[in-house]
Amino acid sequence: MESSFLLTLPVEIVHRILDCLNIQDIIFSFRYVCKKFYSITNIYNRLKVELSNHSSDTRIHRLYRIISPENVRTLILRNSYYNNELNDIDYFFSFNDIHRFTGLRFVRLDSLTEKDFRTVIHHLTTLSTFKSLSIFDRRILKNDTIMFLSKVIALQSIRELDFDISTRVLNGISWPNHGMYQKLNLKLCSYKQWCHILHHSPNLRIASITKLEMNNIAKDVACNTYKQLTSLTLNCIQCPIDQVEMLLASYSSLISINLTLNIISSFANLQRFSQWEYFIGEKLPRLKTVRFRISTRISRSQDFANIKSIIAAFRTPFWLQHKCWYMRFNYVIDGEGAKFIINSSIDGYVDMFQEFESGLISYFTSTRKDEDGTKLQNVWNVIVNLPRVTQAICSRRFTIPKYYLFDNVIQLGLDIDHFDDWQRSSSFECLSKLINLSQLKEIYFLLSCKATFEASKINTILEKAMNVRTFGIKNNGSLRDHMENECAVISPQIEHFIIRSPDTCTMKVIAEHVEHISTITFSCDWSSPTTWKKIIKWLMEKEKKFSVTDDYQSIRIWMKDTSDI
């Protein structure tokens, strides 16, 4: 053990390692490895104690007797008033004097009894180094408890607050005139409360509100400016876009915004949002990062020229070159009608295996960082749930349009969640009426059920989609029965085969039975240098050429000789 690498590390590095372990592993395992680790553990002052309403056990009791309260930095207490039996939290308060926990920096309180809540909060008011408080409790607290909470918020050391509390408690808090907290997360807040908090928060830099009630926003809101705020996240906002603009115009120093807007009024709101190039340039000149999701219900009879004009507004040099902000646009037909959704995107690239808005039919396109916005026409992708579309037609909840809704659809995803229906010939006939199959270049087989992959069914579609050269499949247990036979009969027009989430055995069988295809790409949702270790060893033994992406999420195999590798 004396030659162990860990023993040669500085104590500070060992403490970093302990930061990744839970308290029981530290106290009952690591501590007893050797004398040096024993002494290191005794001075480790970043312990994290997490207690819930589970019945107490002797191992927990032993833990409390060993730890030094002053070495506890994080304390998490959950749900003590849901359990009438003696539990960990009860034992914690009976065995420990909360005032001995002088090193606390971070505390999270979740649904404690009022007595326990007040005991902890009262103690926090005595600490000069306390930094972060999280409270998740919608009950109405007593006035004296709220008074102690106000004192914690007024601490000079406080830097972060995370509250999921009732609006009545939020109203009862006496916010300090010069609050030192720099980050604030609120679950629920009215616009009036938000303005009051901002007025008392000169040091607030980062704010997040899950649900901001905008019912009483004043028309002269722009007169109130709060230049201290640099990052703002607003979710679940349902209001006209002009009110959102009035709100954001008050924060001229914003560097980052994250918005989720469910617009409940007219399509005109989206048209106004498409003009934000001018709003941002005038009102938010320092803005560098934008993330948002904006959705609205629209009529199926909506003029598609208007939709295309909205998309075109995000293809200007301001969005693509100056700001490098990219968008993904979804037009979704579901059982209730249609909706149009705009999402921000890191690079605008579309992965058919990603999760998209569910519905009968989902069309989507995007702006990308490598495109010339002045020349590129809208290239569309579509995901069709054939079983649901067929059922909707039979029940007269959906009528096939007389013309193709969007031209230039190049990618098709077949979302199959019911095995029995999609293989019928009527389903393929329906598909040809929804999409111009002759324009397709790629087809993806997306399984939500345990259907068995049958290449002959895909070949039936390929006969009408002669320009398709890429075929992909999301493996959801579908590649199992007679897999080698199915892979061998994939249409010879396919040049590129893409498989999502395969196992090593599946990869080997596919690579041996689709030699008429130029390339095979296997991809997964995780990334690790060891992800493809087994298949790489096998490929090297078979002398097959391959490459792995930098993020380790996919590996491509060349089945035919090429000088370009």
Write out pLDDT tens, residues 219-231.
555 457 888 999 9
Evaluate whether residue 36 is within a structural domain.
yes
Do you know the residue count of the chain? 565
Give the pLDDT mean for 337-342: 88
Distance CA 304, CA 104 (A): 58
Domain extent at residue 36? 1-44
Residue in this structure with the two tokens 């469910």, named with its chain if needed: 262
Evaluate whether residue 166 is within a structural domain.
no
Q: Kindly state the percentage of the chain with pLDDT values over 90.
A: 34
**DSSP string computed for 24-79:** HHHHHTGGGS-HHHHHHHHH---EEEEE-SSBP-HHHHHHHHHS-GGGEEEEEEE-
Evaluate whether residue 344 is within a structural domain.
no
Evaluate whether residue 376 is within a structural domain.
no
pLDDT digits (tens, 9 = 90+) for 191-246: 889 989 999 999 999 999 999 888 766 655 545 788 899 999 998 777 788 888 88
Task: Give the tokens for residue 40.
Answer: 């290191």
Give bridge partners of residue 48 from the DSSP assignment: 74
Residue in this structure with the two tokens 């607030």, named with its chain if needed: 204
Range of weakest confidence among 104-113, 272-281, 289-298, 348-357:
348-357
Range among 234-238, 245-249, 490-494, 511-515 rated most confident: 245-249
Evaluate whether residue 342 is within a structural domain.
no
> Who contacts 180 (Cβ-Cβ below 8 Å, separation ≥6)?
155, 156, 157, 158, 159, 203
Q: How confident is the model at residue 59 (pLDDT cuts 50, 70, 90)?
A: low
Distance CA 147, CA 174 (A): 8
> Who contacts 53 (Cβ-Cβ below 8 Å, separation ≥6)?
78, 79, 80, 82, 83, 87, 88, 89
Q: How confident is the model at residue 262 (pLDDT cuts 50, 70, 90)?
A: confident
Distance CA 487, CA 479 (A): 9
Check residue 454 and give its pLDDT: 67
Q: How confident is the model at residue 551 (pLDDT cuts 50, 70, 90)?
A: confident
Evaluate whether residue 37 is within a structural domain.
yes
Coil vs helix vs strand at 199: helix
The phi, psi pair for 116, rounded to 5°, reads -65, -40
Range of weakest confidence among 281-285, 286-290, 336-340:
336-340
Range of weakest confidence among 25-39, 203-217, 289-303, 440-454:
440-454
Evaluate whether residue 20 is within a structural domain.
yes
List strand residue ranges (DSSP E) for 156-288, in order. Answer: 160-165, 183-190, 206-213, 231-237, 256-262
Higher pLDDT, 490 or 366: 366
Give the pLDDT mean for 44-60: 74
Give the pLDDT mean for 284-300: 88
- Entry pTM: 0.82
Give yes or no for residue 55 having a pLDDT over 90.
no
Looking at 414-557, list the stretches that DSSP marks H as alpha helix, in order from N- to C-terminal side. 419-422, 425-434, 455-462, 483-488, 504-513, 533-541
Give yes or no for residue 480 having a pLDDT over 60.
no
Give the end-to-end CA distance of the chain in Å, rounded to a whole number: 48
Give yes or no for residue 425 having a pLDDT over 60.
no
Range among 152-161, 352-361, 468-477, 511-520 rated most confident: 152-161
Tally of domains in the chain: 1
Check residue 552 and give its pLDDT: 85
For residue 76, count CB atoms less than 10 angstroms from its CB and return exposed for 0-12, middle for 13-18, buried for 19 or more.
middle
The phi, psi pair for 385, rounded to 5°, reads -95, 90
E strand or H helix that includes residue 147: helix 143-153
Evaluate whether residue 337 is within a structural domain.
no
Q: How confident is the model at residue 90 (pLDDT cuts 50, 70, 90)?
A: low
Q: How many CB atoms lie within 10 A of CB 527?
A: 12
Distance CA 136, CA 121 (A): 14
